[in-house]
A and B are shown apart, each in its own frame.
Chain A
Amino acid sequence: MEFRPRHYSAEQEAHSLPRSRADHNPLSTPSPPSTPQSQVIVANHENNDFLDPLRGWCANVAVSNEDSPDIDYASAATSSASLSSGTVSEIPSKEWTSFKRFLMQKFPVSKMISVSSMSDVIIKSGKALDKSKKGTYSEEMNDSQKDPEDDAKVITRQEYVSQMHELKHEIMRAWHAEDRVTALKLSIKVAKLLMDTSVLQFYPTLFVLATDVMDMLGDMVWKRIRQKAECAEDGTFIGKLPENFKASDICSDAKETCNNWFCKVGSIRELVPRIYLELAILPCWRFLLDQPADNIQRLVMMTRGLADPLASTYCRLYLVHCARKLPASDKGYLVTCVNDIKILLIHLLSAKETPNIHFSGKIGLLVSLIEPTIEYIMKFIFEDASQRQAYSVFMELGLGRDRSNLSESIPCVSVVLHHLLKELPAEVISCNSVDILHLIKCSNDDSFDQCLNYRLLGFRLGESRSQLDIVISVVDEVIQVVTQYVKLDEYLKVVDAYMDIVLQNQMDNYLNTLLEGLYTRACNKEIVNDEQRILQSILLKLLYHFKDLDIIFALKHFLEILDVMYGSSRSVINMQILNMATRNDHIRDPTTIQFLFEISQSLHDDMDLANMKDDGNQQSAHLISRFIQKVDFGAEMERHLTFLVECRGAFGSINELTETLVHLSNYLATKALKDRKTLLTFVKSCIAFSEVTIPSISSQVRQLNLYLETAEVALLGGLVSHSDGLIVSAVSCLENVECTDGSRAPTDVDGILSSIRKLCSLLVMVPGNSDQVVTKIPRSILSLIHSRSWMTPRITARTFCAIILLLATLSQNKLPYHLCPTEVQNLGNDVLFFGDSSYLRELVSLSEHVLQNLLNAIEQEPSKAVRGSMALEACNCIALSFKASDDVLKVCWKLIEAAQLCLSANDKYLQSTIEYLDEQLSTSRATPAVVI
């Protein structure tokens, strides 16, 4: 066998594609194609049967673009269909369901509930335990003033709930058995349960259970009367009642029944069940009146008769829920509700000794139980309210300042104020911010933390632009307030909310005051987790606002404040700073570099090194490595290398970073080589740095690649002996791959293959060493292939091909490429071994050996398609490397036969390979090959 002589430069000229300028960047997003032009291009290329992969990609995109709108429309259609099926009226009921769930979850109930004797419906089953038997509970319930008759029972929550469900079913059964009187009587009993607020924590659950029954009853009554209205006296169906029916559409029989229901409900003695039952059937007023809203107002007033704060606020909650079932009406009653709740709370909070014994010491719990009702009502008030409406509500709540009596301070309850602030439109807040601030100042009670209201005002103010002078006066006043705060926690909460406003309006002097205040409160103090979080939010706001790190570092106390932070909050800030710093192209300032280095160090210290897969950690590592990449010392390359050494010392434990460092030192070396001014010693130290650093990387494959990269750089600098060492290291990495990484994914194997190919291409320009066999490295790769189990036949075959190509190249009289620097150019193997027959023999003998193995490897490939393409690949490789002799052609045809067995006859690769072989055959006839 003999290697085919190659004339690389001539071949390149012959085979290179004609190059033409493109009008569009084919990789940019496809713009609507200018059709005539693209047709011309296609026409041009039609004859040489060449498929431009970029153009092909464009065509694909066009197709997929056509497809996707259909999918979008389809999904949009289904979603809109599902929306339209739910009528508008269902939305509030859904909201109510989720609100009920929220209530149940927010106030979970301990296992046992004491039930007063009144709730005989619940304990009639006799399951209840006698109070005296339950010693632990009786202690809590023990009250010397309790009436001896009052024999409280204790049952489990589960029992209570199941009893309620049982009652509900009983009511339903009675109703369907036409026994509506019993159904009503049982419903009244259920409603009476709501009078019992003795177990505060249980009340929301009780409320949800009981109103469930009320809603069910109300529904059944509504349906019954509507049915009557839709039927003639003899029971025949007349027609469906329209959604917006009038009272005049209703027949007298239906009205009579409806009236009876209101009479029956009206005759209930106790206030609580009377209100609840009327609310349950409230929508039925529509059968009697066209304007049923007056009744809502009356019910609001009636609710005032409930002195128990819990019972009365929850009753209002149910009222609002039921009122929403009526057609939209004036929301004035809601304002009355809120005002009544306000008065109730003022009364509750101001009472020196609580009026009701079972609330004493539980005001906090009570307020938290009441809060959701305020929240719900407030939300509904401002739902779809225009700005003007919202303002008038604000005034009606007695909160807006009447211009006539400016001096008067209107009391408000902070918890009510809080939810008002939450729901008021931002514009109303910004227009009345001074008044609201005044209100917050005045309402300092136990129901809600005052500083949280200051905080909320700040956030709400930030939502809309307000006049600068107003903002200034508000901020000024707030700062006066917070200066009085001693607690860091409160200070932070408020300052955080106003930070955006201060920044947006460039109130620099205020910013300084705030930072100063923060510094004095935060330093020399243990900072707890919550405070860290808010501090983090404040610092992030500063960072986002100023964008420029230099300004931020110049801020008073910024660095000191940063220093008091630790843990994850600190990391978040550090990451943000790094993120900002690395947005610039270069980081040149030595102080900045030093600072960022310290930040990176602290970030590194907080990283959980045992868990590098964690997203946060990966991001930190990524940011640090980006920072290191951006650092630029310009001409001071020595200093840069020193910096890299420092970095290695600091962040050596992070693989990603070590890799970056190697890349950077290689980059430095390359840059130095390009400069040509620097001495080779610097390049050597860079390479030495890389060489020392690489082994600390855990992945063998990465090491391999880095060794190759460094070897390349060494070759670039003409440092042949360095590169020899590096290549040896690379090969030993390759040998170690298996032992370190047990089972590899197939992609990684492909990666290794490409590294091997890269190594082969490097070897072309590595001058042979006369001390050793010239094929030492290829041989060691070969031995490796045989001994490694992860080598699949496919990879093996390709490696063999690569080696054959390498050997064929080395045999040439003129190598396709050489080492760059002029002084070492002559050191190419083509020069070193020119005309050396033992050299050639060595190459040929190795290639024959490889060829044999190659054929074996192909046969071992299990997949047909892969085997076919492998055979063709090998065939091409052989035809390209060797002169066409009979031996070679025999091998080639054998491979073609193998390929024909595996691939279809139409396969283009197969066809063109056959064509190529035929061509070779004819030329070989012309110039007979010399067989060795």
Chain B
Amino acid sequence: MSTIDLKLSRSNRIYRSSEPLQGKIVIKSPSSLSHYGIRLTINGSVNMQIRGGSAGVIESFYGVIKPITIVNKSFEIRSSGKIDSGTSEIPFSVILKQPGEESLERFYETFHGTDISIQYLVTVDISRGYLHKSLSTTMEFIVESDKADLLERSVSSEMAIFYITQDTQRHPLLPELKSGGFLVTGRISTQCSLLDPISGELTVERSAVPICSIDIHLLRVESILLGEKIVTETSLIQTTQIADGDVCRSMTLPIYVILPRLLTCPTVLAGPFSIEFKVSIVISFQSELSKLHTKSDPRTPRLWLAMETLPLELVRTKG
């Protein structure tokens, strides 16, 4: 039985659109193998689907939306011929995007979200006529923004300042929280390089009710244009606790959240879809009630929670 394998030159499989995709095709065959040509196909597309979330029943019925093709190229690596028995390695190097070439779409960075997925695949086919089953394999590779396309400006060090008190909450609070009051202040970055952690600081100035925990939620907002409507899905991708228990008042705590690699990408605001991010600072106060709802979605506003959500722009920097 002959097998075919793809090996990319980089172990992390990250390539930029201006760079050639290099690697080798590894064929293992017990006997010599004649073929009608070896082809390599590159395919990149934005796939969108709608399920649940803010979409209604009808929309979800129509579920899958036509994908957007970013790139679709095919190269002949070998014309028809013969491959010797044993292990053969065929190196290749293909160009994702010729300089000056007008591509179909921007080379968005690889992204796998709930509703939106941006994926790049490389496929190799060895066609062997009608008598034999053709050999084929596919592998995903990861695309990052081209350095040339990156912002020249550095990430702004601007911070959003926040005040969280009983009065800034838009949901009902426990009576003791309302009456006792609390004040948590701090600042957090609004724009962040994907390579850097989200930074900032937070201070519990006062709180009558003991604090149970303070967490930073990283949220992802995927929006898809569906006809006239925009369907938005917000999902929690990471929670980072920065305070455990009733911390001392007036003591500055650092906010330091490393971005999860595969779950984030630069903020994209394209016409048919957009991918955005938010951070949410959630303070949970000690309450007997909270113990009854341990498994609930942390984003749900509860009586014993106070929160503040801020937008976060993620950018790819030259790093």
Binding site for B on A (CB under 8 A): 145, 147, 149, 195, 253, 256, 262-263, 266-267, 269-272, 274, 298, 301-302, 304-308, 311, 340, 343-344, 347, 355-356
Supposing A302-B253, A302-B256, A305-B253 touch, asked if A270 and B244 sit within 8 A by C-beta, the answer is yes
Q: How far is the CA of A862 from the CA of B240 in the complex (A)?
A: 93
Taking a contact as CB atoms under 8 Å apart, the answer to whether A307 and B248 are in contact is: yes
Question: For B253, what are the chain A residues with a Cβ–Cβ distance below 8 Å?
Answer: 301-302, 304-305
Asked if B197 CB lies within 8 Å of chain A CBs, one says yes
Taking a contact as CB atoms under 8 Å apart, the answer to whether A307 and B258 are in contact is: no
Taking a contact as CB atoms under 8 Å apart, the answer to whether A308 and B254 are in contact is: no
A399 to chain B, nearest CB (A): 19
Question: For B258, what are the chain A residues with a Cβ–Cβ distance below 8 Å?
Answer: 262-263, 266-267
- Closest B residue to A295 by beta carbon equals B256
Contact of A147 among B11, B245, B260, B291 (CB under 8 A): B291
- Closest B residue to A233 by beta carbon equals B11
Asked if B311 CB lies within 8 Å of chain A CBs, one says no
Taking a contact as CB atoms under 8 Å apart, the answer to whether A355 and B244 are in contact is: no
Supposing A301-B252, A305-B214 touch, asked if A355 and B246 sit within 8 A by C-beta, the answer is yes
- A/B interface sample: 23 pairs, CB < 8 A: A147-B291, A195-B244, A263-B261, A266-B257, A266-B258, A269-B238, A270-B241, A271-B241, A271-B243, A274-B240, A274-B241, A298-B254, A304-B247, A305-B253, A306-B244, A306-B247, A307-B243, A307-B244, A307-B248, A308-B245, A340-B251, A344-B248, A355-B210
- Closest A residue to B239 by beta carbon equals A269
Asked if B221 CB lies within 8 Å of chain A CBs, one says no
Taking a contact as CB atoms under 8 Å apart, the answer to whether B241 and A305 are in contact is: yes
List the 8 shortest-distance A-B pairs measured between CB atoms, nearest first.
A307-B245, A266-B258, A305-B243, A301-B254, A271-B241, A307-B247, A271-B244, A307-B246
Question: For B245, what are the chain A residues with a Cβ–Cβ distance below 8 Å?
Answer: 306-308, 356
Question: For B248, what are the chain A residues with a Cβ–Cβ distance below 8 Å?
Answer: 304, 307, 343-344, 347
Q: How far is the CA of A355 from the CA of B240 in the complex (A)?
A: 24
| A-B contacts besides A308-B245, A343-B251, 17 pairs, CB < 8 Å | A266-B197, A267-B238, A267-B240, A269-B215, A269-B238, A269-B239, A271-B244, A272-B244, A274-B240, A301-B254, A302-B242, A305-B247, A305-B253, A306-B244, A307-B245, A307-B248, A311-B244
B214, B241, B243: residue with the most chain A Cβ atoms closer than 10 Å: B241
Q: How far is the CA of A344 from the CA of B247 in the complex (A)?
A: 9
Question: For A343, what are the chain B residues with a Cβ–Cβ distance below 8 Å?
Answer: 248, 251
B68 to chain A, nearest CB (A): 30
Question: For B246, what are the chain A residues with a Cβ–Cβ distance below 8 Å?
Answer: 307, 355-356
Asked if B300 CB lies within 8 Å of chain A CBs, one says no
A145, A195, A266, A343: residue with the most chain B Cβ atoms closer than 10 Å: A266
Q: How far is the CA of A343 from the CA of B248 in the complex (A)?
A: 8
Q: How far is the CA of A311 from the CA of B247 in the complex (A)?
A: 12
Question: For A302, what are the chain B residues with a Cβ–Cβ distance below 8 Å?
Answer: 242, 253-254, 256
Q: How far is the CA of A147 from the CA of B292 in the complex (A)?
A: 9
Question: For A308, what are the chain B residues with a Cβ–Cβ distance below 8 Å?
Answer: 244-245
- Closest A residue to B212 by beta carbon equals A307
Taking a contact as CB atoms under 8 Å apart, the answer to whether B243 and A269 are in contact is: no
Asked if B12 CB lies within 8 Å of chain A CBs, one says yes
- Closest B residue to A347 by beta carbon equals B248
**Residues 1-57 of B contacting A (Cβ, < 8 Å):** 11-12
Contact of A304 among B238, B240, B252 (CB under 8 A): B252
Q: How far is the CA of A256 from the CA of B195 in the complex (A)?
A: 12
A32 to chain B, nearest CB (A): 72
Question: For A270, what are the chain B residues with a Cβ–Cβ distance below 8 Å?
Answer: 241, 244
Question: For B11, what are the chain A residues with a Cβ–Cβ distance below 8 Å?
Answer: 253
Q: How far is the CA of A162 from the CA of B19 in the complex (A)?
A: 54
Taking a contact as CB atoms under 8 Å apart, the answer to whether B244 and A305 are in contact is: yes
Q: How far is the CA of A837 from the CA of B238 in the complex (A)?
A: 129
B79 to chain A, nearest CB (A): 31
Question: For A304, what are the chain B residues with a Cβ–Cβ distance below 8 Å?
Answer: 247-248, 251-253
Question: For A298, what are the chain B residues with a Cβ–Cβ distance below 8 Å?
Answer: 254, 256
Question: For B288, what are the chain A residues with a Cβ–Cβ distance below 8 Å?
Answer: 145
Question: For B256, what are the chain A residues with a Cβ–Cβ distance below 8 Å?
Answer: 266, 298, 302
Question: For A263, what are the chain B residues with a Cβ–Cβ distance below 8 Å?
Answer: 258, 260-261
A145, A253, A269, A301: residue with the most chain B Cβ atoms closer than 10 Å: A301
Question: For B291, what are the chain A residues with a Cβ–Cβ distance below 8 Å?
Answer: 147, 149
A483 to chain B, nearest CB (A): 38
Q: How far is the CA of A302 from the CA of B240 in the complex (A)?
A: 12
Encode contact with A along B229-269: 1 for CB under 8 Å, 0 otherwise: 00000000011111111111001111011101100000000
B134 to chain A, nearest CB (A): 32
**Residues 175-234 of B contacting A (Cβ, < 8 Å):** 197, 210-211, 214-215
B192 to chain A, nearest CB (A): 14
Question: For A307, what are the chain B residues with a Cβ–Cβ distance below 8 Å?
Answer: 211, 243-248
Encode contact with A along B272-308: 1 for CB under 8 Å, 0 otherwise: 0000000000000000100100000000000000000
B75 to chain A, nearest CB (A): 26
Question: For A266, what are the chain B residues with a Cβ–Cβ distance below 8 Å?
Answer: 197, 240, 256-258
A253 to chain B, nearest CB (A): 7
Taking a contact as CB atoms under 8 Å apart, the answer to whether B260 and A267 are in contact is: yes
Question: For B251, what are the chain A residues with a Cβ–Cβ distance below 8 Å?
Answer: 304, 340, 343
Question: For A311, what are the chain B residues with a Cβ–Cβ distance below 8 Å?
Answer: 244
- Closest A residue to B245 by beta carbon equals A307
B285 to chain A, nearest CB (A): 13
B266 to chain A, nearest CB (A): 17
B245 to chain A, nearest CB (A): 3
A262 to chain B, nearest CB (A): 7
**Residues 147-162 of B contacting A (Cβ, < 8 Å):** none
Question: For A272, what are the chain B residues with a Cβ–Cβ distance below 8 Å?
Answer: 244
Question: For A356, what are the chain B residues with a Cβ–Cβ distance below 8 Å?
Answer: 245-246
Question: For B243, what are the chain A residues with a Cβ–Cβ distance below 8 Å?
Answer: 271, 305-307
Q: How far is the CA of A301 from the CA of B248 in the complex (A)?
A: 12
B11, B197, B238, B258: residue with the most chain A Cβ atoms closer than 10 Å: B258
- Closest A residue to B254 by beta carbon equals A301
- Closest A residue to B294 by beta carbon equals A149
B131 to chain A, nearest CB (A): 39
Q: How far is the CA of A305 from the CA of B243 in the complex (A)?
A: 4
Q: How far is the CA of A12 from the CA of B288 in the complex (A)?
A: 113
Q: How far is the CA of A267 from the CA of B218 in the complex (A)?
A: 11
Q: How far is the CA of A256 from the CA of B14 in the complex (A)?
A: 12
Question: For B254, what are the chain A residues with a Cβ–Cβ distance below 8 Å?
Answer: 298, 301-302
B298 to chain A, nearest CB (A): 10
Q: How far is the CA of A147 from the CA of B288 in the complex (A)?
A: 8
- Closest A residue to B197 by beta carbon equals A266
Q: How far is the CA of A238 from the CA of B215 in the complex (A)?
A: 45
Q: How far is the CA of A344 from the CA of B288 in the complex (A)?
A: 25
Q: How far is the CA of A271 from the CA of B211 in the complex (A)?
A: 15
Q: How far is the CA of A112 from the CA of B256 in the complex (A)?
A: 39
Question: For B197, what are the chain A residues with a Cβ–Cβ distance below 8 Å?
Answer: 266
A184 to chain B, nearest CB (A): 15
Q: How far is the CA of A270 from the CA of B246 in the complex (A)?
A: 15
Supposing A304-B247, A307-B247 touch, asked if A269 and B241 sit within 8 A by C-beta, the answer is yes
Q: How far is the CA of A370 from the CA of B248 in the complex (A)?
A: 17
Question: For B242, what are the chain A residues with a Cβ–Cβ distance below 8 Å?
Answer: 271, 302, 305
A270, A271, A302, A306: residue with the most chain B Cβ atoms closer than 10 Å: A271
A799 to chain B, nearest CB (A): 91
A450 to chain B, nearest CB (A): 24
Q: How far is the CA of A304 from the CA of B242 in the complex (A)?
A: 9
Question: For B238, what are the chain A residues with a Cβ–Cβ distance below 8 Å?
Answer: 267, 269
Q: How far is the CA of A90 from the CA of B279 in the complex (A)?
A: 44
Question: For A274, what are the chain B residues with a Cβ–Cβ distance below 8 Å?
Answer: 240-241
Q: How far is the CA of A145 from the CA of B291 in the complex (A)?
A: 11
Question: For A355, what are the chain B residues with a Cβ–Cβ distance below 8 Å?
Answer: 210, 246
- Closest B residue to A344 by beta carbon equals B248
Question: For B12, what are the chain A residues with a Cβ–Cβ distance below 8 Å?
Answer: 256
Q: How far is the CA of A607 from the CA of B252 in the complex (A)?
A: 65
Q: How far is the CA of A263 from the CA of B264 in the complex (A)?
A: 13
B72 to chain A, nearest CB (A): 30
Q: How far is the CA of A253 from the CA of B11 in the complex (A)?
A: 9
